[in-house]
Amino acid sequence: MDGARLTVRLADRDAMSDWRFSPDGQGAELAWHGPCALTPDSAELLTALEACFALHPAVRSIRVKAPLPRDAALFEQGTLRLAPGEPATAHAALFWQQRAPWLAQHAAQPFPLDYVVTGALRHPRRPPKPTGEVYRRYIPWLQATLSLRVATEALDAARLNQWMNDPVVAHFWEEQGPIDKHRAYLRKQTEDAHTLPLVLCLDGVPFGYVEAYWAREDRIAPFCDARDHDRGWHVLIGDPACRGQHFVSAWMPSVSHFLFLDDPRTQRLVIEPRIDNGKMLRSLARSGYALEKAFDFPHKRAMLGTLSRERFFNEALWLPRSADGLTPAALAPLARPRPSDQLVSTALH
């Protein structure tokens, strides 16, 4: 994007399309300018809309002036809305709920509802686990692409072992030990139907570990009245170059975004950090999580944090928040070192 001009080129083709974007308070206009021999397809339009919403975060809706692709799904899925006598319009809260711009192209549709019993818990059968990269998002203020990929023993056991043995990580996770322990740990998370181990990356370089889980069959369930499709997560950040609020405001909303997109039936996210982890509690509040109550696990005193789907999308919580947690923070690009994959680490759990 250069001023009002936006140029789009998809990775699998050489041709480029030309657009003009005009922000206008709460609304804006995106107009297609060629090439005249062609019309934009759905992928080009989605890419152009993502760029406009990402680079102009105050914009809540965009009028689209273009020969629209012959794709009814854009309207059926809510990407575009059409009112009589008005151009097609994309609304940020609806656009950011679409799966195509951010989830891997092979992302499965929501798994059919089929109840099973695990121990004393009745819950939906969980889908087969994905492999490889599952989520990708460009972060303008980091000038880098953040991604989530599924962790594997072969790729990540040594790295996880080094991170877990850092004293700061060990203080919160209490999982320090030899590499064989962490190989077994990753195997367990991979085989457990209710958890999904993930690696956080910036421009493809790992910097953190996320453990997503279905809350209904997790130990947190009795403390949060877990529903069928509630999700929860734990996290540690392993690269010291990726600390600070600019980075938290990129990866924390992205984790929330991925979990809401992964299954549209997920209406709430839950998390249970240690009650003495003040930095994590402040970051959760800035990212829209309500800190509801303190409670006791056998191994720690925790704070229950929750985030509803409605709040995340209606309040544009994929954006950084200011210290008061009410308005989007500045999105000035941050001069920073690239992820180094160093061994010194910090943990948020």
CB neighbourhood size of 104 (10 A): 17
Residue 217 falls in the annotated catalytic set:
no
Which pLDDT value is given to residue 324?
54
Q: Which pLDDT tens digit goes with each residue over 243-260?
A: 788 899 999 999 999 999
The boundaries of the domain holding residue 303 are 115-348
Residue with tokens 């089929």: 114
Peptide bond preceding 140 in cis form (omega within 30 of 0):
no
CATH number at residue 119: 3.40.630.30
Q: Tens of pLDDT along 12-25?
A: 777 788 999 998 76
Most confident of 3-17, 54-68, 192-206: 192-206
> Could you tell me if 84 and 146 lie in one domain?
no
106 belongs to a structural domain: no
- Kindly state whether residues 76 and 144 are assigned to the same domain: no
Catalytic residue among 76, 272, 310, 315: 272
pLDDT score recorded for residue 244:
82
**Stretch 182-205: mean pLDDT:** 96
What is the C-alpha separation between 27 and 120, in angstroms, rounded?
51
Tens digits of residue pLDDT in 222-232: 999 999 999 99
38 and 149 part of one domain: no
One domain for residues 304 and 160: yes
Percentage of the chain beyond pLDDT 70 is 90
**Domain-located, residue 48:** yes
Does residue 109 sit within a domain? Answer: no
To the nearest 10°, report the CA torsion of 197, 310, 42, 52. -100
Contact 52, 64 (CB under 8 A): no
- Together in a domain, 199 and 231: yes
Query: Is residue 150 domain-shared with residue 20, that is, in the same domain?
Result: no
- pLDDT tens digits, 68-101: 877 678 898 899 998 888 889 999 999 999 998 8
Cα separations in angstroms, 126 against 113, 187, 193, 199, 229: 9, 18, 6, 21, 10
The answer to the question of residue 108 being in a domain is no
Q: Are residues 235 and 313 located together in one domain of the fold? A: yes
Q: What's the whole-number average pLDDT of the chain?
A: 88
Rounded to 10°, the helix 278-286/245-262 angle is 60
Tokens of 223: 């403390």
Q: Alpha carbon of 199 to those of 10, 128, 163, 175: distances in Å?
A: 26, 18, 12, 17
Decide if 190 is inside a domain: yes
Question: Hey, how many other C-beta atoms are within 10 angstroms of the C-beta on 188?
Answer: 11
Give the model confidence (pLDDT) of 99-158 as tens digits: 988 998 767 788 999 999 988 889 999 999 999 999 999 998 899 999 999 999 999 999
pLDDT digits (tens, 9 = 90+) for 305-345: 999 999 999 999 998 776 554 445 445 555 444 555 443 33
Structural domain includes residue 100: no
In a domain, 104, yes or no: no
Q: How confident is the model at residue 332, as a pLDDT?
A: 55
Q: Give a yes or no: residue 40 inside a domain.
A: yes
For the chain, the domain total comes to 2
- CB contact at 8 A, 224 and 270: yes
